[in-house]
Amino acid sequence: MKIAAGVGKNLAIVQAAQKVDFEIILTKSEDELLDLVLNGNVDAGIRGSLSASHFMSKIRENYPEVSRASLLELKGHKFLLAPVGIDEGDTLEKKEKIIDNGVQFLKEMGLEPKVAILSGGRPQDRGRSPLIDSSIDEAEQLTMITKDKYRVKHYFILIEDAVSDGANLILAPDGICGNLIFRSLVLIGSIKSHGAVTLGIKEIFIDTSRSQNEEGYLRALKLAEKLAKLRKK
């Protein structure tokens, strides 16, 4: 098994790489990491502490509909949170694609998908602002579009109910909200992150925050290895 990982200013990824029993190729540039992943020279890649913007712009040249979903864990319950890229999930069509790709990933992991769609308020909050109304309306529309294909429920703003009900794909209103939720849960709170799965590509690539600690990077490396093994079966 051969995994490529990016090394930027945060050297915790280097310490994490020393604690695994499979081969790690450490790279110091986004282009080098991208070439290794897209050319099939490694079984999987993780961003480590390199910049996301350059890498994602390059990968979108090959996969324009790519998005990221963080794999989080709370008290043993693992779930995807998407979108987490600040420029992702900003249209109804993009959100539907994220659900399609997220469901496919969960099935590949042997999990029964349970989708929770979030919006900007409770049902009774309609009329408080046009932004809230628009968010609720779009979430309702997305639920109607996907309910015949998947097990989907609109939880409005109640992310806590979605998690307690066992949802394993939680869709934020947009990428900015998703990124803020991730940072609140993982970088301030105590929820475990296994990295963000890159959806919509055939290669295996795990995105990680540049602010992640050694344990977080170690979990991402192990996730990359697990996905690579599943792919080879």
84 and 106 fall within a common domain:
yes
Beta bridge partners of 169: 80, 115
Read off the CATH number of the domain in which 20 is found: 3.40.1400.10
Read off the CATH number of the domain in which 73 is found: 3.40.718.10
User: Which of the residue ranges 50-59, 100-109, 209-218 would you say has the lowest mean pLDDT?
Assistant: 50-59
Q: Give residue 178's domain range.
A: 69-195
- pLDDT value of residue 129: 96
Percent of the chain with pLDDT over 90: 78
Q: Is the pLDDT of residue 219 over 80?
A: yes
Number of domains in the chain: 2
Report pTM: 0.90
95 and 179 fall within a common domain:
yes
Burial pattern 4-28, b for ≥16 Cβ within 10 A else e, equals bbbbeebebbbebbeebeeebeebe
125 and 20 fall within a common domain:
no
